Structure 1
Amino acid sequence: MEKELELINSNLSNALAKLVETKKNQNKDDDWRNRKERIARLLWLHIQHVQLTVITHRRRSQQRSRRRYRHLRSFFMQQMVEMQSNYMQMYAMLRLKRASLEDEESEESDANDNIQQTNITDNQIVYEDIFPELSDEEFLNKLHITRSTFKALCRQLTPAMRKGGQCSGSSLEISLDKCVALALYYLASGERISIISNLFSVPRLRTIKCLKLFCNAVMSTLGKALRKLPQSEPDCGNVMVGFQKESNMPAALVGILGVCSIPIRANSGPLNYAGQSVMRMEFLLDDRMLFRELRLGNGSRASMMPLFSKAPNRLTDLPQIPINGRLISPFVLVPPQQNYPLRRWLLQRYADPIAPHEHDFNEVAERLQELSDCALHRLMSRWHFFIQPLDIRFQTASCIITAAAVLHNLLEQISEPHMLEWGNAVDVSKFKSDPLPDCCEDVEGETEKGLRVRDFLARTISSTEI
């Protein structure tokens, strides 16, 4: 700023000196007055420029300083408020933990050190020690199940969990109800295991054992909720009718295949487009968007064959369905661009539709394929542990994911509440899976048979379209 002012002053002095010198040598004529007026005008504009420069630069520097101080002050206050809030929450949690530990010690002494009997008391509900004074709505938002369903789940899983703990030969040293609460909170919150361990005051290894015990109990007790499809002919018939009501697809569709990639930290498996280590999940949906079958793989299993790609399988064992005087094999709809082979029992949309009936088939297939994204979004909305990369091993992750699907099916069947705001943080497009290598060869002309079946179904759809 000082250098600019010195330059302006020197220019002004030079202009005045030239004015004086010109005045001495100037003949007295009419040009002298006009030149003097022009020089005076230039000097006036020059002074205005000096004033504007000084005021503008000074004002801008002051504004920048004030803005910088204001940002620093607001950032500092925000950090102080967060630290104070975290301190208060931690203090309250520690006080609750200390009170609960004192109560447990007094109960253990009154029960003559009968630890095992105290841990598995059916009437003792531990969630009130972990989440005190929660309303029913707050409890639902914490564990994503209602309080009554939680109590029923504890009663139903307690025998299997007690038996599983005895068979493993290692005591969890925590009550089984608390184990159920821990597992459900892990599934619903999406927090890392280290945070769950601190919240429940349980070591990390014991937390993982608790998750395994819970998931094994879910599979042994409630595993029927994940019924494989096709299971029986009547079951397949109901699914076919359901899909026919949902769309204009002829009553031969028994399921929709979906594929996604689940990020995982504790594994050196294949990488997705974002450079993350992932595990591939294939799932089969019925007409009610329930998960009928899951298959997980990564690492050496990443080169596995697509589901139902080889014959014979459960689909080929089903009896054929008569449609407009022609026998059609029951089939499933597979996602596009995943290198699934085209078979009589595995159909996908036309890659380059030309004829009207081909466009009609693609329209129906795309509408049905949207059910896959809807079901996946609903599953991940209820269980937020899918959102963050899993910090557990593949075997443990497979057990937890399968149990989560079983619980999801069970809760959907009993019409358990599902809040829309749970899905605000879920974007299923981030779980898009890369296609598997094309390793399926045509056997006995199955590709040609699949083309003929798809063309027949497409023409049937066009002829029955309203």
Structure 2
Amino acid sequence: MEEEINLTTAHLSDVLEKLQMSKSTGDLKSRNEKVAHLIKLHIQHMKRTVTMSRPRGQQRTRRRFRMLRSFFLRQLIEMQSKYLQMYAMLRLRQFQLNSTSQCTDEKSTEEVQQATKEYSTSEAVDQTAVNVPRQRQFFEHLMPSFSDKEFLSKLHVTRSTFQTLCRQLSSTLRSAEDLQPPPIVTANKCVALALYFLASGERISLIAEKFALPRARAIKCLKIFCNAVMSGLGKALRRLPQMKVDCENVAAGFQRESNMPAALMGVLGVCSIPIRASGYLLMEFLLDDRMLFRELQLGNGNRAATCSPLVPSFAVIPNTLTSLPKRQINERRIPAFVLAPGDQNYPMRPWLLQRYAEPEAPHEHDFNEVADHLYELSDSALHRFMSRWHFLSQPLDISFQTASCIIQAAAVLHNLLEELSEPHLPEWGNKVKVSQFRATHPMQTPPSEGYEDDSELVERAMDVRDFLARTISSTEI
């Protein structure tokens, strides 16, 4: 571009010089007009030259950047490939030496550790014998320095409750064989890792790095903790009320809360939890009058899954509801029942009632008003559960079996913490929306073999619902 500008300028100078030395008889005015016209043409030519040359220069610059970026990516991929090969070789060598460690002397062990130290990189946290700087160890050095408020915000339990859990589960965790291979995972560290995973919502790979453990080892710790919770504290996930006193308390609690006649044993809910590997997990839960989890059923929502789809609870005869004694309401005996959502293929049964789809009479609207209030309580309980345990806030990067185990343990812990009146901070639920967990696909309709006449059951259910609705209307204040 500079050469073109210089050439144009030289031509202009020559023309101006010739025009100045010209001996024509024209007056000075005409000569000045010619000079001005030449200068104008020169400026236009200069603009055109600059306009055409600049994009070409920019294109050459972009082309060089693309070439450099491609070269850098090739080098990066090559370095990563070499590192993975070296890492696999070191792991194999270390495994071979560890298997014969009883027959080797201390010098060989020191050589292996030195070789591992020389070739380790930032991903060395995946190795079995990982060494993390003291200032980066989360459990050993950061957690003890937390204030009570920081401890609660990180693990969503108070420090005293954490210590109580550690004491109650220590015997079970210490006997777990998967926690014994070096580096030994203590019972307290296992509990801290599990609670941090449940409360933080971070991916398991990041948590494994924070606790200086391989990802597979961190998942094993989670499974061991969940099994210990279910075996030691599983009674917190209480089954459907069966004892007379428990049934009385639950029915009376629902009646105080919603004016539902004292025959309601629980409210059913269904939600969908996404899993990266297998689509989503379908969770069906039964809540009592205190909005604690009584029943929990988990199924793989993926239609292509090998396991059978989730069948609605209490849909098949006989079940625990049909075995409960009938309740006396206004000189009439009606079966104990649960309230089911109307969009999940629940059959209409005397013990499994739903709201009116198209209410017309006043008592039908009254029943729906009570049912809607109970559904709102169910959504509030689910919001409280998911805001306490943020691991449900994003798709789980674990298998269906592992997710099922963790969710059951999380429900047990939730019940336990609710009964202990553990703090539940409002800001935990600021970003949790229950609507995003609503199950969009209905559950599988149960088979009809062995049933009574379906139409007769539906008529009996509608009769029970009408009786309850009229009772609600007659007792309204």
Say whether 1:340 aligns with 2:346: yes
How many Å separate the matches in 1 of 2:374 and 2:419?
21
Counterpart for residue 435 of structure 1: 442
Q: Deviations over 1:141-194 (max 9, x none)?
A: 00000111111111111011123x149986772212111111100000010011
When normalised by structure 2's length, the TM-score is 0.68
2:200–2:391: 8 Å Cα contact kept in structure 1?
yes
Say whether 1:256 aligns with 2:267: yes
Counterpart for residue 187 of structure 2: 176
Say whether 1:419 aligns with 2:428: no
1:247–1:368: 8 Å Cα contact kept in structure 2?
yes
How many Å separate the matches in 2 of 1:459 and 1:170?
65
Return the letter of the residue paired with 1:131: M
Return the letter of the residue paired with 2:396: L
Say whether 1:144 aligns with 2:152: no
Aligned residue runs from structure 1 range 23-102, under 5 A:
97-99=132-134
Counterpart for residue 98 of structure 2: none
How many Å separate the matches in 2 of 1:397 and 1:341?
28
Counterpart for residue 67 of structure 1: none
Say whether 1:396 aligns with 2:408: no
Structure 1 residues 464 and 301 mapped into 2: Cα distance closer, same or farther (>3 Å)? farther
Match of 2:332 among 326, 341, 354: 326
How many Å separate the matches in 2 of 1:243 and 1:148?
32
Say whether 1:185 aligns with 2:200: no
How many Å separate the matches in 1 of 2:411 and 2:156?
14
Structure 1 residues 168 and 201 mapped into 2: Cα distance closer, same or farther (>3 Å)? closer
Aligned residue runs from structure 1 range 338-417, under 5 A:
338-417=344-423
Structure 1 residues 128 and 167 mapped into 2: Cα distance closer, same or farther (>3 Å)? closer
How many Å separate the matches in 2 of 1:449 and 1:195?
55
How many Å separate the matches in 1 of 2:474 and 2:196?
51
1:186–1:193: 8 Å Cα contact kept in structure 2?
yes
Task: Quote the offset at 1:338 in angstroms.
Answer: 1.2
3-state SS of 2:430 partner: helix
How many Å separate the matches in 2 of 1:167 and 1:97?
21
How many Å separate the matches in 1 of 2:139 and 2:162?
9
Q: Identity percentage over the alignment?
A: 62
Q: Deviations over 1:315-348 (max 9, x none)?
A: 0000001111110100000012111001010000
Say whether 1:282 aligns with 2:284: yes
Q: Deviations over 1:336-374 (max 9, x none)?
A: 211100101000000000111100000000001111101
Q: Deviations over 1:251-307 (max 9, x none)?
A: 00000000000000122xxxxxxxxx1110000000000001110001344633211
1:172–1:206: 8 Å Cα contact kept in structure 2?
no
Structure 1 residues 438 and 413 mapped into 2: Cα distance closer, same or farther (>3 Å)? same
Q: Deviations over 1:179-210 (max 9, x none)?
A: 11111000000100110111111001100010
Q: How many residues align?
A: 340
Match of 2:321 among 315, 320, 329: 315
1:258–1:284: 8 Å Cα contact kept in structure 2?
yes
Structure 1 residues 384 and 101 mapped into 2: Cα distance closer, same or farther (>3 Å)? closer
Superposition RMSD in Å = 2.2
How many Å separate the matches in 2 of 1:172 and 1:340?
50
Q: Deviations over 1:53-107 (max 9, x none)?
A: xxxxxxxxxxxxxxxxxxxxxxxxxxxxxxxxxxxxx9xx9xx9423799xxxxx
Task: Quote the offset at 1:437 in angstroms.
Answer: 4.4
Structure 1 residues 440 and 158 mapped into 2: Cα distance closer, same or farther (>3 Å)? same
Return the letter of the residue paired with 1:136: D
- Ranges in structure 1 where 5+ consecutive residues have no aligned partner: 1-89, 103-125, 268-276
Task: Quote the offset at 1:226 in angstroms.
Answer: 0.3
How many Å separate the matches in 2 of 1:367 and 1:228?
23
Aligned residue runs from structure 1 range 115-130, under 5 A:
127-130=139-142
Q: Deviations over 1:384-430 (max 9, x none)?
A: 00111111111111110000000000000000000000001100100
3-state SS of 1:145 partner: coil
Return the letter of the residue paired with 2:210: L
How many Å separate the matches in 2 of 1:322 and 1:167?
53
How many Å separate the matches in 1 of 2:242 and 2:181?
37
Match of 1:239 among 230, 247, 250: 250
Counterpart for residue 107 of structure 1: none
Say whether 1:207 aligns with 2:218: yes
Structure 1 residues 239 and 171 mapped into 2: Cα distance closer, same or farther (>3 Å)? farther
3-state SS of 1:295 partner: strand
When normalised by structure 1's length, the TM-score is 0.70
Structure 1 residues 172 and 218 mapped into 2: Cα distance closer, same or farther (>3 Å)? farther
How many Å separate the matches in 1 of 2:445 and 2:140?
53
Structure 1 residues 437 and 224 mapped into 2: Cα distance closer, same or farther (>3 Å)? closer
Return the letter of the residue paired with 2:371: A
How many Å separate the matches in 2 of 1:282 and 1:356?
31
Say whether 1:154 aligns with 2:161: no
2:312–2:445: 8 Å Cα contact kept in structure 1?
no
1:190–1:388: 8 Å Cα contact kept in structure 2?
yes
Structure 1 residues 168 and 143 mapped into 2: Cα distance closer, same or farther (>3 Å)? closer
Return the letter of the residue paired with 2:378: S
How many Å separate the matches in 1 of 2:193 and 2:433?
26
Match of 1:134 among 142, 146, 169: 146
How many Å separate the matches in 2 of 1:180 and 1:304?
31
How many Å separate the matches in 2 of 1:99 and 1:171?
18
2:340–2:353: 8 Å Cα contact kept in structure 1?
yes
Match of 2:457 among 446, 449, 452: 446
2:364–2:469: 8 Å Cα contact kept in structure 1?
yes
